[in-house]
Structure 1
Amino acid sequence: MDQTRCLVPPVPAPKLNIPRSPSTVEVSIIDSTTRISIPFTTLIRPPVQDLPDLKCPSYVFLIHHRPSNQRLVFDLGVRKDWKNFAPALVRRITQNGWGVSVQKNISEILTENGVDLSSINAVIWSHQHWDHIGDPSTFPASTALIVGPGFKDAFAPGYPANPRGVIRESDYEGREFREVSFPSDDSPDLLRIGRFKAIDYFQDGSFYLLDAPGHTIGHLCALARVTDGDRQGFVLMGADAAHHAGEFRPSPYLPLPKDISPNPLEGISNSRFATGHVCPGEIFLHGDGEDGGPKRADHRFLAPAKGLSVDGEKASWTIEGLEEFDASDEVLVVLAHDSTVQGMLNFFPKGIEGQMRQDVKNKVRWRWLADFASETGGTKGERL
């Protein structure tokens, strides 16, 4: 990053050490039709004036490996008949008064767009939370269910064998139910990409599962190589490693620019910065940051809510890992619930490859700052 364009000089990011490969996968982001409304401070701190509730989608990813003709689905959003989740989940949703709206199961979206469900070799759950597990029983028995390390001991068997279960037996019955494991730290087979342990899923460098601990037991992210050649392009499927882009931006490697373009406040009602393609970065440094002190140009604005993560220290470690990936111009980080990419990225049935060649990352990188419009003298509008 050009230091003259930043409010503070950036620190060189650690090398990601992604193995070189000519192999790629096709990736499509699926709008699962899930819409969730949860009090902001249930998930994220500190409070943000314009966001009493986090109203967000839940993205799903379709991965197609052409050499083997295998297809994977990473996460499933919320099942359409969500009141048929395991009773423990239904009670949690209803007792907390969370808003849930779902129009279609992922299996329906795929079928309506000409994808034969028998071509889906596996569904990968990033973790066990209700807004990610959908309804695997709507896929044929030939579709495996893949989960992260420690998942089975923590969450299987499901309901009704376990009356308190948060998944259902029907999610995995009659299909391969596979838990991935990562080599130990001292294993000669250990592969790390960035700071994360990685599994080369297709053994050709096109798609990796990443051990991203902290949020829950067995939490997984995924890294897909979508373009090759001189400029490699990757999509990092961040799942719930963070719930808002302000949890890993700005960072020491990617500080706030002096002038932000495209203007994240363009079209925001009552903002004196609502017109023009550029707005000054310093206007966003009002108010408290995630550590209780003033916001800094080189430190993330937000953090996970206290008690949200099963292991807060590991969750913070994983977020720091996101910062390292985000600093690379080759990597587009897409969180499961980042509404700011809507209207900017291609969604299924289109793929993301073409946009990665057009450097779409720079167009969406700072769009989330619109959530802080009130702190700059504006009012958050319904722009999206």
Structure 2
Amino acid sequence: MATKLQVPASSSIVNVSIIDSTSRINNLPYYIAMTPLYPGYEHGFVPCYVFLIHHPLANTRLLYDLDLRKNNTHLNPHLVKKMVPLQLGFSIEKDTADILHENQLGLRAIDTIILSHHHFDHAGDTTKFPPTTNLLVGPGTKAKYRPGYPADPDNQGSTSDTAIRGFCDICGFKVFDCFGDGSLYILHTPGHTANHLSALARTTPATAEENSTFIFMAGDLVHSGMCFRPDSHIDVLITIPNRALNTPPPSLSIHHHHHHHHLLLLLLLLLSPPYSSETEPDDPRTQPFSLIARSVEEDSAVSQANATTLAARFDADSDVLAIYVRDDRLLDSGGVLEFFPKATPTNEWKGKGWKIRGHWRFRDKMVRAFEAAGGANDR
């Protein structure tokens, strides 16, 4: 992974802890997130991550996203009605505020909540936080998405989600240096919504031998690694279970005209050895499995362009751990991440091998999908 992120040098860092919010969205139809779909890979569950960010010198704490909330009576009935056909299952054990309380971190210690965007599955329950907690949101939030339901009956957002004092819209900033010292950058990454924000946290400073390391909090910039992996900037390093190699691939029917080489691409990734990044531009090993679907995107073309940037500038860099908020590959089958409060902070992610261990884990599901589709064809 040769590409290096061009970020100004700094000795300042923030400590990042990843909170498993305990929430799950079950039976999620993947067609709303990506296209094409692959047989056996049509539905799944996704987790909900929250990021606790601590600036040690300023002794300031921030949260990136809150995810789902237990009490959903605030939701617009029109939004609830729209979700009924999807047959989603929501499992919500605790609010983020409750998790912080249980681990002796008072809510007054949280200076700012950064919302990746205004959707209910990210805004959480801001009403549990004191009025001293600020709310940082993306460009255009006030003009386009407020005041929310019920003040605006047609708005899918909720008035209560932005009812904290110190409401701040960073309109005009493509990149916002949060503390002015290069430790935390807020990036405007529109597409999923016009006001979408991502965050880049410096987790270790550079030394004579090593570059700085970063955690990139992508939010809903993407919903699956299949929408930006593989990429011409990313070396494919895969080990495949013998059971997959010994199973003849089934005949698959993929109902989508984009990139007719998807099946070939899957076979190459499953069966070929590692390859150099010096591949041809049309090499199927350098094209993502799927594209971002239009269903839940305000601008899917911008979303896909940003996903390509994510792959080329963040995901391809061995010094950057990119995590999107629904990143189930890091959680299932034993998981990769260590969660708050057991791992506080998670700055040593590179030494622990999290990126290497988790990078291609979504491929395991595709192997299982291949096998499931093969079994279906045999019946």
- Give the TM bin, normalised by the shorter chain: 0.7 to 0.9
Pairing partner for 2:300 from 304, 312, 316: 312
Partner SS, residue 217 of structure 1: coil
Letter matched to residue 300 of structure 1: P
Q: Which residue of 1 aligns with 2:215?
A: 235
Q: Which residue of 2 aligns with 1:98?
A: 88
Are 1:292 and 2:259 an aligned pair?
yes
Question: Where in structure 1 are there 5+ consecutive unaligned residues?
Answer: 2-11, 184-196, 275-282
Whole-Å separation in 2 of the counterparts to 1:131 and 1:176: 22
1:298 shift after superposition: 1.0
Are 1:363 and 2:357 an aligned pair?
yes
Whole-Å separation in 1 of the counterparts to 2:222 and 2:253: 21
Whole-Å separation in 1 of the counterparts to 2:246 and 2:127: 49
Letter matched to residue 182 of structure 2: G
Partner SS, residue 285 of structure 2: coil
Closer/same/farther in 2, CA of residues 160 and 378 from structure 1, 3 Å limit: closer
Closer/same/farther in 2, CA of residues 299 and 123 from structure 1, 3 Å limit: same
Are 1:163 and 2:153 an aligned pair?
yes
User: Residues 47-86 of structure 1: matches in 2 within 5 Å?
Assistant: 47-86=37-76
Q: Which residue of 2 aligns with 1:123?
A: 113
Q: Which residue of 2 aligns with 1:216?
A: 193
- Size of the aligned set, in residue pairs, is 340
Closer/same/farther in 2, CA of residues 290 and 248 from structure 1, 3 Å limit: farther
1:167 shift after superposition: 2.5
Range 330-339 or range 29-38, more displaced: 29-38
Q: Which residue of 1 aligns with 2:10?
A: 21
Letter matched to residue 311 of structure 1: D
| TM-score using structure 2 length | 0.83
Q: Which residue of 1 aligns with 2:348?
A: 354
| TM-score using structure 1 length | 0.82
Letter matched to residue 66 of structure 1: P
Could you give the per-residue CA deviations for residues 199-238 of structure 1, whole angstroms, max 9, x where no partner exists?
1001111101011111111111100011113331110001
Partner SS, residue 201 of structure 2: strand
Partner SS, residue 122 of structure 2: helix
Q: Which residue of 1 aligns with 2:277?
A: none
1:95 shift after superposition: 4.6
Pairing partner for 2:30 from 18, 40, 64: 40
Letter matched to residue 203 of structure 2: V
1:379 shift after superposition: 7.7
Could you give the per-residue CA deviations for residues 52-89 of structure 1, whole angstroms, max 9, x where no partner exists?
21311111111011111111111111111224323333
Whole-Å separation in 2 of the counterparts to 1:68 and 1:326: 29
1:118 shift after superposition: 0.1
Q: Which residue of 1 aligns with 2:175?
A: 198
Pairing partner for 1:225 from 178, 202, 207: 202
Closer/same/farther in 2, CA of residues 16 and 168 from structure 1, 3 Å limit: same
Partners of 1:272 and 1:378 within 8 A in 2: no
Over the aligned positions, Cα root-mean-square deviation in angstroms equals: 2.4
Are 1:344 and 2:336 an aligned pair?
yes
Whole-Å separation in 1 of the counterparts to 2:366 and 2:159: 43
Whole-Å separation in 1 of the counterparts to 2:29 and 2:307: 21
Pairing partner for 2:136 from 146, 163, 168: 146
Question: Where in structure 2 are there 5+ consecutive unaligned residues?
Answer: 266-283, 375-379
Q: Which residue of 2 aligns with 1:279?
A: none
